[in-house]
Amino acid sequence: MNEFLEIEENIVRMLKTVFDPEIPVNIYDLGLIYKIDLGEDGKLIIEMTLTAPNCPAVDFIVEDVRMKVGSVEGVKEVDVQIVFEPAWDKEMMSEEAQLELGFL
């Protein structure tokens, strides 16, 4: 397997271990991750959003993302950028997440 793809898979695997403390679904399946951009130099840029602009857990979630994805072999630096465009809605969730939260 291509080493770059393997690193990206490991990044996604780690993102699936990050949870909003108020929601029992990981941030990846919630559809909060908009962009994963890993440079050849190992710098990782993650663009993500929140379920609500005034989410009280934002600092906790961002730090958890930084620590967990930063532990992936091949990732040298992590830059987490919070964005609000496009606005998040429940249609962005995976089918699994929608089932878990009773939307299906």
pLDDT of 3 strictly over 90: no
Q: Which two tokens stand for residue 5?
A: 């793809």
The structural domains of the chain, with segments of one domain joined by +, span 3-100
Burial class (CB in 10 A: 0-12, 13-18, 19+), 89: exposed
- Strands of the 43-48 sheet, one edge to the other: 33-38, 43-48, 77-82
Q: Are 48 and 81 in contact (CB under 8 A)?
A: yes
Q: Tell me: the pLDDT tens digits for 78-104?
A: 999 999 999 999 899 999 999 999 987
Taking the C-alpha atoms of residue 84 and residue 89, their distance in angstroms, rounded to an integer, is: 11
* Per-residue model confidence (pLDDT) at position 53: 85
* Per-residue model confidence (pLDDT) at position 75: 97
Taking the C-alpha atoms of residue 88 and residue 6, their distance in angstroms, rounded to an integer, is: 28
H/E stretch holding 47 reads strand 43-48
Taking the C-alpha atoms of residue 79 and residue 48, their distance in angstroms, rounded to an integer, is: 11
* Per-residue model confidence (pLDDT) at position 1: 55
Q: Tell me: the pLDDT tens digits for 34-76?
A: 999 999 999 999 999 998 888 889 999 999 999 999 999 999 9
pTM assigned to the model: 0.92
Summarize the confidence of residues 20-29 as an average pLDDT. 92
Is the CATH number of domain 3-100 3.30.300.130?
yes
